[in-house]
Structure 1
Amino acid sequence: MWGIALQRHSEVALARQLYQILREKMTDGQLRPGEALPSTRELAKQLALSRNTICEAYEMLAAEGYIISSQGAKTRVADGLQLEKAAPAFTENTPPAAPAIAADFQTGRPDIRQFPRHLWLQLLRKATNELSPQLWGYSGPAGLPVLRREISAWLYRSRGLAAEPQDIFITAGATQGLKLLAGEGQAMILEDPCHSGLRQVLQNRGISIYPVPVDRQGLQTGNLNRNGACAVYVTPSHQFPLGGILPASRRAELVRYARENGLYLLEDDYDSEFRYAGPPVAPLYSLDPQQVIYIGTFSKILFPALRIGYVILPRRLQARWRHLRTYADVQNPPFAQAALAEFLQNRKLDRHIQNMRRLYGHRRHILLQTLTAMFGPGWSAWGDTAGLHLAVEFPGMRFDDMFVRHCQSKGLRLATVETHCLRKGEHRDKLLLGYGHLEPAEIKQGLALLRTAFPA
């Protein structure tokens, strides 16, 4: 009847299939408004189904208003159901398959092969089993108190940064923290160059951006001016992407500027744990906790999929933060938070950082050594001896999108500093080489491919 064909071996129940078929016939006009449907007994006989199956399909149609039925009357199709056929879904042309990547110098990637996954899974299981029943519900937008206490203790012993646990708020990574802090339609001052992904996050929120140039020592504070911005985004401990450390005089000038103009400094401390010529740099936050919002993340230290970061907020912003986080996504899942708290408490994080600092320091040395071997003296490194990437200047070269595509055709993935610039043209001779996730052999293979991409 009506061309109804049911798939009797499908995982979709027969009643659901019948409901979908009849609904489609009503919306495309095959079954017209007011048209009577067969009785459940009659349709069951025609389709060789149980009457219960037909009743279930009719009940679904009636619940959603597709049919009208009443005691002693025929079941009929409701009015106003017909729809025009939807336009075909837009499909993009499938791009040609990219060549296999033999060497990948992407930035910001830790070596997750070195992470103690077995230990982490043990802690995750233990923390989940011991988590109190109330924390399986809504635990609030601030984060687990135990994790906030452990982050406070870790920041103090690793950086000398004194922050009260109640001022620390857990985030789903540094990017979420920035999105919540940046009010829609406002203006912000950004370093130039600055991470292009972060810039896109701000622009997607309608933020106006005022770029301030960066040199080998970071943000050029002498170029700040009164432009109505609500905040300055800065990476003072290891400027991304050029790698400079903001000197004390510029830090003081930046704090004075923030005070005089009534704005906040958003300090993104994304990878200062990995410094290879001395301890981590003291945060800008320590100069003025009421004017600086400190943003930290565990993505570079542990593994990106963890999605746990934190912000240290001045007290006057905390109520607003709780409101925004509550109506964004409420909270991070408590299980990973509890496991991370124990990872911090038993100093496993401290030891992991020490191990990775040695490993990354060695890989950085291999990268510099191989650059010299393959390119001679015709290059220079920018920035402090820290982090998971290196900015490399090749005087006289001009790296653009065509060069990046040329490298990709050879199986080499990398980025230019120019990609992260708002004002183009000043850093065309610089490449970014991420090395933290690469074995020495992979570093050497990648630089060999880079050498072949250079003009003869």
Structure 2
Amino acid sequence: MLWIEVDRTSQIPIIRQVYQQLRDKILKGELVSGEKIPGSRELASHLHISRNVILEAYHMLLLEGYIITKPNVGTFISEGTLLRQNILSSPQKTDDNEILLDQSNLDRIDFRSGIPALDLLPLKKWSHIKSQVYLDSSYNIFGYTHPKGCLALRNSICKYLLRIRGLSCHPEQVVITSGSIQSFSILSNLLLKNNDIYIIEDPLHIEIKKTFAFNNPNCYSIPVDQEGLQTQLLPSTLNPKFIFITPSHQYPLGEVLPVQRRIELIEYARSKNCYIVEDDYDSEFHYMGAPVSTLYELAPDSVIYVGTFSKILFPALRIGYIILPPILVDSFCEYKKRSDYFTSVVDQITLSQFIDQMFLDRHVHKMRKIYLQRRNALIESLNSSFGSSVTIHGESTGLHLIASFKDVQFTEDLVSFIALQGLKIHPVWLHSSFKNFQKNSIIIGYSHLNHQLINKGIKLLKESLTTWHLGPPYTSLK
């Protein structure tokens, strides 16, 4: 008699249990082609279950071709039902990003950059607007829409950018995406062919580099200095398809590209008939004077502007946007259509109303004050703990700053050691293509950390460096 187990406490229906066990025995060859299987009454009696359960399981196997019936003879295993089994490899190690909410990981302080203060989101306002969208909108919002995105949101973004950044554009140039990474991915597919070359600044966020390299690895890196991209190093012998840059707040170093270099960059792009891709990822949060103007304002014919709401609201929203020259809009939308068709309509309309009712402006204004306080707390803690042994730069804008330490090399071993002490740090060199690039510098994101966690994190950093026996000046740190 067949060995089949029935678990009456399982959430899987008994019919399904019988079917799956018989199917698996057939696929593995434990029940071979041509072999007769027990009758329904016999198997039901053996398992102490209803005959109807067996009949239904047999019926499922019959429909899928695992068994055949011969009138007045019996039920048999069909031909060609043996499936060779492959041995699965062991699962890979879980990535850090997959365990952000793991309880065992909550005590670790992470100086990761670009994370907004999620505990301070205006969720009541957001939820109220979203509820009203569900209740008051036409049923059409639950259907398909154009890959370009909702016109209402594109209009709202244009007004917002004019108000906040002084940037003037038309809604027909705006395409809604699922965030900056999708914008970059579609752009690289759209603009690059097999042997085409593109230019990036170095260092540059490693995830952006990987996004471009996934489609085309032929990048030409130009190092940045204290004034951003070194435009004098732009290659005269190459014909790039685009130049990627973060001019308002270079990532990760935080430098601002001056107007002289902006003009040189624009003139170079025009001479090469290529585009400039401007990533304006966190410029809403400026702490020293007025915000820096966009590159797009100087040359809307040559610049593709990319923005996101991940930094000013929350990453899970998955809404970004891109401002394109009119000639690229239709082609970009076609790629977007093949990617995910369109971004959530309900969230787009909610965001549109959130912007139009000035809630986004108020939230940005509020968070700018809070992030300034957290930035100042971080600077004070660094100076108090390390004194003249630390140099701080890139702190005028955004959600992170750079701290450079004397006589420290943040090697992989040191980074791992510090992680074991409960602190995750992010060296600048991870984002550079050049060997030994600023091994003494780390990126410290502070926007998602309150004052207590900031001070605790810097204390852990100091203790870790001291324990690592780096020698002066750290062995004498007070």
Same fold (TM over 0.5): yes
- 1:115 offset after TM fit, Å? 0.9
- 1:42 offset after TM fit, Å? 4.7
Residue equivalent to 2:463: 452
- 1:378 offset after TM fit, Å? 3.3
Q: Deviations over 1:102-144 (max 9, x none)?
A: 5331111111111111221111211122232122111121111
Is structure 2 residue 291 aligned with structure 1 residue 280? yes
Supply the distance in 2 between the matched residues of 1:389 and 1:46 (Cα, whole angstroms).
68
Is structure 2 residue 225 aligned with structure 1 residue 219? no
Supply the distance in 1 between the matched residues of 2:49 and 2:390 (Cα, whole angstroms).
78
Residue equivalent to 1:368: 379
Residue equivalent to 2:18: 18
Q: Deviations over 1:333-376 (max 9, x none)?
A: 11211111111010000000001111111221222222222222
C-alpha change, 1:304 and 1:31, in structure 2 (3 Å) is: same
Residue equivalent to 1:175: 181
| Native 8 Å contact 2:280 2:306 kept in 1 | yes
* Counterpart secondary structure, 1:294: strand
Q: Deviations over 1:354-411 (max 9, x none)?
A: 0111111122122222222222233322235111100122244322222212222222
Amino acid at match of 1:53: V
Q: How many residues align?
A: 455
Is structure 2 residue 446 aligned with structure 1 residue 440? no
> For 1:117-128, what aligned pairs fall within 5 Å after superposition?
117-128=123-134
Supply the distance in 1 between the matched residues of 2:273 and 2:88 (Cα, whole angstroms).
52
Amino acid at match of 1:190: I
C-alpha change, 1:428 and 1:298, in structure 2 (3 Å) is: same
1:202 to 204, 212, 215: 212
Amino acid at match of 1:335: V
Once the two structures are aligned, what percentage of the paired residues are identical? 38
| Gaps in structure 2 of 5+ consecutive residues | 96-101
| Gaps in structure 1 of 5+ consecutive residues | none
Residue equivalent to 2:98: none
Normalising to structure 2: TM-score of the pair? Answer: 0.89
Residue equivalent to 1:190: 200
| Native 8 Å contact 1:101 1:413 kept in 2 | no
Is structure 2 residue 143 aligned with structure 1 residue 137? yes
Residue equivalent to 1:267: 278
| Native 8 Å contact 1:188 1:207 kept in 2 | no
C-alpha change, 1:94 and 1:448, in structure 2 (3 Å) is: same
- 1:30 offset after TM fit, Å? 2.3
Q: Which moved more, 1:435-444 or 1:29-38?
A: 29-38
- 1:94 offset after TM fit, Å? 9.0
1:398 to 403, 409, 413: 409
Is structure 2 residue 167 aligned with structure 1 residue 161? yes
Larger RCO, structure (CA 8 Å, separation 6 or more): 1
Amino acid at match of 1:250: R
Amino acid at match of 2:33: P
Supply the distance in 1 between the matched residues of 2:108 and 2:10 (Cα, whole angstroms).
44
C-alpha change, 1:36 and 1:409, in structure 2 (3 Å) is: closer
| Native 8 Å contact 1:399 1:429 kept in 2 | yes
| Native 8 Å contact 1:266 1:295 kept in 2 | yes
Q: Which moved more, 1:56-65 or 1:158-167?
A: 56-65
- 1:72 offset after TM fit, Å? 6.3
Q: CA RMSD in A?
A: 2.2
Amino acid at match of 2:28: D
Residue equivalent to 2:397: 386
Q: Deviations over 1:420-439 (max 9, x none)?
A: 11112231221211111121
| Native 8 Å contact 2:141 2:346 kept in 1 | no
* Counterpart secondary structure, 2:222: strand
> For 1:330-369, what aligned pairs fall within 5 Å after superposition?
330-369=341-380
Q: Which moved more, 1:306-315 or 1:39-48?
A: 39-48
Amino acid at match of 2:86: A
* Counterpart secondary structure, 2:36: coil
| Native 8 Å contact 1:102 1:446 kept in 2 | no
Amino acid at match of 2:316: A
| Native 8 Å contact 2:395 2:401 kept in 1 | no
Supply the distance in 2 between the matched residues of 1:44 and 1:411 (Cα, whole angstroms).
58
| Native 8 Å contact 2:188 2:216 kept in 1 | no
Supply the distance in 2 between the matched residues of 1:388 and 1:133 (Cα, whole angstroms).
39
Q: Which moved more, 1:57-66 or 1:30-39?
A: 30-39
> For 1:24-173, what aligned pairs fall within 5 Å after superposition?
24-69=24-69, 74-92=74-92, 101-173=107-179
- 1:301 offset after TM fit, Å? 0.3
| Native 8 Å contact 1:28 1:84 kept in 2 | yes
